[in-house]
Structure 1
Amino acid sequence: MLPRIAVVTGAFGILGEAVCAALLANGDRVARVDYAQPRAALAGCVDFGGVDLADVDCANQTIDAIVETMGPPDILINVAGGFTWETLADSTMESWSRMFSMNAMTCLNMTKAALPQLRNRPNARIINIGSMSATSAAAGMATYAASKTAVHKITEALAAELADTSCTVNAVLPNVIDTPTNRADMPDADFSKFVQPAAIADLILFLASPASRGISGALIPVSRGGTE
């Protein structure tokens, strides 16, 4: 059987790197897409750096380039996104626009661009990164949580729209992810409770597999540290 082709956005970040590593270990080929530039080439990957997925034309051009270079994708994993903490009173229209661009529009644009390919592939998979904080937003989380809620609803609606195909659509909802940035921003937190990127990647790998064929439209929380 030919290796599957997986597209991972936000591929050069901490979570993106873990997801790509899991896919490569599974024998998949990976198109790594990110706004940043890759630090180093990786066997089994084709890199697309400097890509602004908040721009619909850029998303379309990226999918076209992936199809031309690697072939039609079987899996799309929307990791790209960003975070901000701010009270509602102190928030600005600029920060609201930035969060929706980074979280909701990157997911929407890349999904729409890849959809004509994916809906015709057998057992295609779309997996989005949502957030547990969007299920019940705490103080200072309104801007971020609202943008991630949009990702959740895109997931649910598209799963219903693709119900007559073999393409499933699901979202993974991590709690705080163990990254250097999160450790620096929350120095007094219990880091053992932070979710390990590899634990999220394991769940994504399952959702990308044939074994997940009966699951679509799910918003799956990842709340444990996952160190073991």
Structure 2
Amino acid sequence: MTRSVIVTGGFGVLGSAVAEVFASRGDKVARIDYAPTASAPLAGSLEIGGIDLTDVEATKGALAKVVAANGGIDVLVNVAGGFAWETLEDGSLATWAKMQSMNVMTGATITQLALPELKKSEAGRIVNIGAGGAVKAGMGMGAYAASKSGVHRMTEALAEELAGSSVTANAVLPSIIDTPTNRADMPDADYSEWVSPDAVAKVIHFLASADGAAITGALIPVSRGG
């Protein structure tokens, strides 16, 4: 069965990997991103750029385009988000609000607005991106970890809210993802210990598959994969 899949943050490294996995399995994919355009197009994908996912009306407009083009929404993967490293003493309180907005409110907004369509699906799936670093926060990770912990709690609460419906809600908790940005930020790190975007994407695809139907409310660590 061909499904309608939305990947937020779909123009980024992880979002692109997720979109590619679903597209390669024959699904209709829509990539929604804050960036105006993708650096590399994905063949057959509906590309919707310039969307602030904390803006309700803009998000409604993007979802309407997806429903019109792909006939509904079966899978929502919330990749959109951001990262900041700074200590509380020397950092900015504005960073805490920014992380909350980028990591929690983006997902909360589009999920709430997409739920009517997801609940029409025979097997609706929501997969959020949490963080291994939010299970126990290290120095400088307070604002980021607090926001990703919010994603974890939102996922758990949403799964209970949707109990008895056709929709599941889960989150993956990657360790450090092997991206060009992370390599530039941590040039002396051992990249072999990092998880590849493709490995994360395959776990997400499993959770969204028929074989993942029995899993909901789970926070799944993803820490291996070359």
Q: What band does the TM-score fall into relative to the shorter chain?
A: over 0.9
Shift of 1:205: 0.8
Match for 2:221: what amino acid? P
Q: After the TM superposition, which residues 1-228 of structure 1 pair with which residues of structure 2 at under 5 Å, given as runs?
A: 1=1, 3-36=2-35, 37-224=37-224, 226-227=225-226
- Aligned mates of 1:38, 1:223 — CA distance in 2: 27
Task: Report the secondary structure of 1:143's partner residue.
Answer: helix
Counterpart of 1:53, as a letter, is L
Indicate conservation of the 8 Å contact 1:166/1:213, yes or no. no
Task: Give per-residue Cα distances to partners, 1:200-227, cap 9 Å, x unaligned.
Answer: 0110110010001110000000112x11
RMSD: 1.0
2 CA distance for matches of 1:221 and 1:42? 28
Give the C-alpha shift of residue 41 in structure 1: 3.5
How much does 1:40 deviate? 4.2
Whole-angstrom distance in 2 between the partners of 1:208 and 1:148: 21
> Which one-letter code corresponds to 1:22 in the other structure?
V
Rounded to whole Å, the distance in 2 between the matches of 1:176 and 1:162 is 30
Report Cα offsets for 1:65-94 as digits up to 9, x if no partner: 211222211000000000000001122222
Unpaired segments ≥5 residues, structure 2:
none
Mapped to 1, the partners of 2:41 and 2:192 lie a distance apart of 31
TM-score (norm 2): 0.97
Give the paired residue count: 225
User: 2:6 touches 2:29 (CA, 8 Å); kept in 1?
Assistant: yes
Identity over the aligned pairs, expressed in percent?
54
Q: Secondary structure at the match of 2:113?
A: helix
- The unaligned stretches of length 5 or more in structure 1 are none
C-alpha distance after superposition, 1:117-170 (max 9, x if no partner): 101211110000000011000000000000111111110001001111121000
Q: Could you say what secondary structure the match of 2:120 adopts?
A: coil
Measured after TM superposition, the shift of residue 11 of structure 1 is 0.4
Return 213-222 or 54-63, whichever deviates more: 54-63
SS at match of 2:73: coil
Q: In 1, Cα distance between the equivalents of 2:95 and 2:163?
A: 35
